[in-house]
Amino acid sequence: MATVTYDNATRIYPGSTRPSVDQLNLEIADGEFLVLVGPSGCGKSTSLRMLAGLEDVNSGRILIGDRDVTDVQPKDRDIAMVFQNYALYPHMSVADNMGFALKIAGKSKSEIRERVEEAAKILDLTQYLDRKPKALSGGQRQRVAMGRAIVRQPQVFLMDEPLSNLDAKLRVQTRTQIASLQRRLGVTTVYVTHDQTEALTMGDRIAVLKDGLLQQVGTPREMYDTPQNVFVAGFIGSPAMNIGEFNIQDGHAQLGRAIIPLSRETLAAVTDADNGKIQVGFRPESLDLSSEGSGGAFPVEVNLVEELGSDAFVYGQLAAGTEGAAHISSGAGESQIIVRVDPRQVPEKGSHVWVSIRAGEQHNFSASTGERLPN
């Protein structure tokens, strides 16, 4: 096991002037499960491939433990990688697939058999060791790919969207298995995904990337409770946070009849560049159903109610005539608001509900930079 350090690591692909990964600084602790997350094209897989040695580092360096591996060949980095596609040899049995890297490394047959059987026991694959990959389900094949990495006993596991090819139910089951397996083995793991739900449920810490730049690093709770900018706020959380641009009037954020109090600290952090505006975010569960005319309440026209049994979410838009409706958005799209409601008392489609933001649960961001402001 070992720490991993990205020290101003930059990758610029040939023919491009914009870095795919731009001066990445990130320290991963020994035994930590760190998730790299972000939208397609943000540089997360490139960051992983730089660590694996599959991509050149144009500037900066990468360390595994105290060893600079920036120019070290992939086979000499003591890492094991699990890919999105299982990359199993179809003509080999499960046991031969899992032990192939050890065979190439010149390990004895007895040691290979011992390591393969131990990994198979951990992954519940013992009864499948003599089967070919075509006789396995998708989840079983992914466990074989995991087993191939485990038998190598590397310092670092690298996983590049390993669950993308699985169906939804199997994905949930397998991500639980991977997270518990990593904690059992205690091997430093860097896991890449575009699915923020995976990130929140699996990682000890999460690193969010956008356009090759690191946006924020923190625990799942820190990322959810205190996103450092508008991008992280809108990306982390399901359903996504509602975010709107409000006018600042008389020390309040105002959108039509909605008036949200702002603290002295928030108002003091607003600059001239913000032009009298502020971005306010509020999660679906931070909205309470209110009565018309109550302080800070604003009307929402119900378009859809999503009933999930234990939860229910109202998808709607600011009622017609509410000034600034176009300046609010959520995971449902522009001009849309998501509200979490009691699943046993859901409003009718086409009706109007009045909602207000629970005191202290809004997130304030600069209108000009998108950076977080103090509450």
Q: Please give the pLDDT value at position 314.
A: 93
Euclidean distance between CA atoms 161 and 218, whole angstroms = 20
pLDDT digits (tens, 9 = 90+) for 323-346: 555 578 776 677 789 999 999 989
Q: What stretch(es) of the chain map to CATH 3.40.50.300?
A: 4-233
Question: What is the distance of C-alpha 241 from the center of its chain?
Answer: 15
Euclidean distance between CA atoms 84 and 166, whole angstroms = 10
Return the structure tokens found at 113. 């058999």
pLDDT band for position 39 (cuts 50, 70, 90): very high
Q: At residue 369, does pLDDT exceed 60?
A: yes
Write the DSSP assignment of 310-336 as a string of letters: S-EEEEEEEPTT-TTGGGEEETTEETE
Write the DSSP assignment of 241-300 as a string of letters: PEEEEEEEETTEEEETTEEEE--HHHHHH--GGGTTEEEEEE-GGGEEEE-TTSTT-EEE
What is the mean pLDDT of the segment spanning 343-354? Answer: 90
Question: What does DSSP say about strands 33-37 and 205-210: parallel, antiparallel, or unpaired?
Answer: parallel
Local structure of residue 64 (DSSP, 8 states): E
Euclidean distance between CA atoms 137 and 167, whole angstroms = 11
Q: Would you say the C-alpha torsion 322, 328, 331, 334 has a positive or negative sign?
A: positive
Euclidean distance between CA atoms 214 and 282, whole angstroms = 23
pLDDT digits (tens, 9 = 90+) for 161-220: 988 878 888 888 888 888 888 988 899 999 999 988 899 999 999 999 999 999 999 999
What is the mean pLDDT of the segment spanning 111-130? Answer: 92
Q: What stretch(es) of the chain map to CATH 2.40.50.140?
A: 239-366
- May I ask the CATH architecture of the domain 239-366? Beta Barrel (2.40)
Instruction: Determine contact, residues 287/314, Cβ cutoff 8 Å.
Output: no
Write the DSSP assignment of 129-164 as a string of letters: TTS-GGGS-HHHHHHHHHHHHHTT--SEEEEESTTT
Closest CA to 112 of 133, 88, 95: 95
Q: Please give the pLDDT value at position 257.
A: 66
Q: Please give the pLDDT value at position 29.
A: 97
Pick the CATH number of 4-233 from 3.40.50.300, 3.40.50.920, 1.25.40.10, 3.40.1360.10: 3.40.50.300
Q: At residue 221, does pLDDT exceed 90?
A: yes
pLDDT band for position 296 (cuts 50, 70, 90): confident
pLDDT band for position 19 (cuts 50, 70, 90): very high
DSSP reduced 3-state for 37: strand
Share of the chain above pLDDT 70, in %: 97
pLDDT band for position 92 (cuts 50, 70, 90): very high
φ, ψ for residue 195 (rounded to 5)? -95, 110
Euclidean distance between CA atoms 348 and 262, whole angstroms = 33
Residue whose tokens read 């997360």: 44
What is the mean pLDDT of the segment spanning 8-19? Answer: 95
Q: Which of 103-107, 134-138, 194-198, 210-214 reaches the highest mean pLDDT?
A: 210-214
